[in-house]
Amino acid sequence: MPFSAGFMVPHPPLAVHEVGRGEEEKIGATIDAFDKVAQRIAQLKPDTIILTSPHSVMYTDYFHVSPGAGASGSFSGFRAPEVRIDVKYDGEFALILNNRANKTGFPAGIEGERDKSLDHGTMVPLYFINRRYSDYKLVRIGLSGLPLSVHYNFGRLLRSVCDQLGRRAVFIASGDLSHCQKEDGPYGFKKEGPEYDERLMDVMRRGAFKELLDFDEDLLHKSEECGHRSFAIMAGAFDSVAIEPEILSHEATFGVGYGIGIFTPKAGDLGASEIKAAAESKDRLVALAKETVREYVTSGKKPSYAADTQELRKRAGAFVSIHEFGMLRGCIGTISAVYENLAEEIKENAISASTKDPRFSPITEEELSDLEINVDVLSEAEAIDSPQELDVKRYGVIVENGFKRGLLLPDLEGVDTVEEQISIARRKAGISPSEKVRLYRFEVVRHV
């Protein structure tokens, strides 16, 4: 397990003695908890600290990873210019992460740095850590405006890169909780403030990381929190790992929630990742597709997998779809049967989806453990007279004009209307909106 622990920490500048000038004593539980975090990190002796901060460079649709050899910052903006933080970056990690993101189409990388100096969301945790341990390199990451599920998948990508490089690492999710817990707080009082903190701390006390994705964006906005997306990335870094949570403190003395927790993989019970579980799927069709991809990517050979069930002996069109960290990584299929049986149909399409999809580079060995593969088996297509006979959830569509044909599977995320479904299928076939088409529909049985 690459991450030996994860840490949820806030970043109030007044926690720094030179800034607080005595005021930090009012959040004594937070100060004590910060030191316990620093002590734990010193015991773990990580090579690399991954730190996510809502105050680093942030884009609506992209995760910024700080590039270069290192950076510096001070608390001059908080009346303490004498307190400086200097860090060395894990440049190799950042470059590998950038390359993996580019390869998979994940919206993250080292481009677009607007401000090199360290932000207080990074410096406050490091102020305490550096007192106990400084023999590490940092990977500093900003958040994004993308959905929580994408942040979670980013955590999975970070874990994969850690594993690839063999890094001993810890994860620091920097972020305050609600900023509207008291009338005299920075944002006044809103009922959503205490509501968010209570719910968030309950989730973290139980180590129920997947529940972080269930928070409504409206609640996040109204509570004026700033750390939830940091926590979601950390959750993805521990995807399906059995966690031992240890909550050290939770305060809202100044109307802002400060929560500190340590999350450690359970000894001897790391849990089975969903990716590995999928790779060992009991579904024969998915297992066949996965084994084909693995065998072909590693050896260039197609596995000798017999059509030993009635389902695999039948003839039918099939699509093999491959995703990595929630992003499409390849999808190739046949509208109707081309090969002697469904087993061969799946094997051929699995090879094509993993190495011959013209939209993507071929999948490499380092990616195999991170893939999610499903198989759609198509019914025979039937001609229909009008779009009224389609249903985006039930039926896939084929549009045809002469030799040009476009297909779209049913029940796809982001495709909510028949008009959208037909429009996308037209574009895939290179058929303009003004050209007449024949319509066909088909059903699928999806294997995951």
* pLDDT score at 281: 55
Please check the confidence at residue 274 and state whether its pLDDT lies above 60: no
Instruction: Note whether 196 and 14 are within 8 A (CB).
Output: no
What's domain 278-447's superfamily in CATH? Hypothetical protein ph0010; domain 1 (3.30.700.20)
Residues forming beta bridges with residue 397, ordered by sequence position: 408, 441
pLDDT band at 2 (very low <50, low <70, confident <90, very high): confident
| Domain spans, the chain | 3-265, 278-447
Kindly state the average pLDDT of the residues 309-326.
95
Using only C-alpha atoms, the chain has a radius of gyration, in whole angstroms, of 25
* pLDDT score at 268: 54
Number of C-alpha atoms within 13 angstroms, CB side, residue 280?
Answer: 5
Unique residue bearing structure tokens 């607007």 = 114
In sequence order, which residues have a C-beta less than 8 Å from that of residue 45 and are 6 or more positions away?
A: 133, 135, 168
Lowest-confidence pick of 118-127, 181-190, 193-202? 181-190
Lowest-confidence pick of 7-21, 266-280, 336-350? 266-280
pLDDT per position as a tens digit, 70-101: 999 999 999 999 999 999 999 999 999 999 99
Average pLDDT, the chain: 94
Instruction: Note whether 320 and 363 are within 8 A (CB).
Output: no
pLDDT band at 349 (very low <50, low <70, confident <90, very high): very high
pTM of the model: 0.89
* pLDDT score at 306: 74
Kindly state the average pLDDT of the residues 100-121.
96
Q: What percent of the chain has pLDDT over 90?
A: 92
The Cα diameter of the chain in Å comes to 79
Whole-number Å distance between alpha carbons of 219 and 422: 36
Please check the confidence at residue 164 and state whether its pLDDT lies above 60: yes
DSSP string, 272-327: --HHHHHHT-S-HHHHHHHHHHHHHHHHS--------SHHHHS---EEEEEEETTE
**Class at the top of the CATH hierarchy for domain 3-265:** alpha beta
Kindly state the average pLDDT of the residues 242-248.
97
* pLDDT score at 304: 84
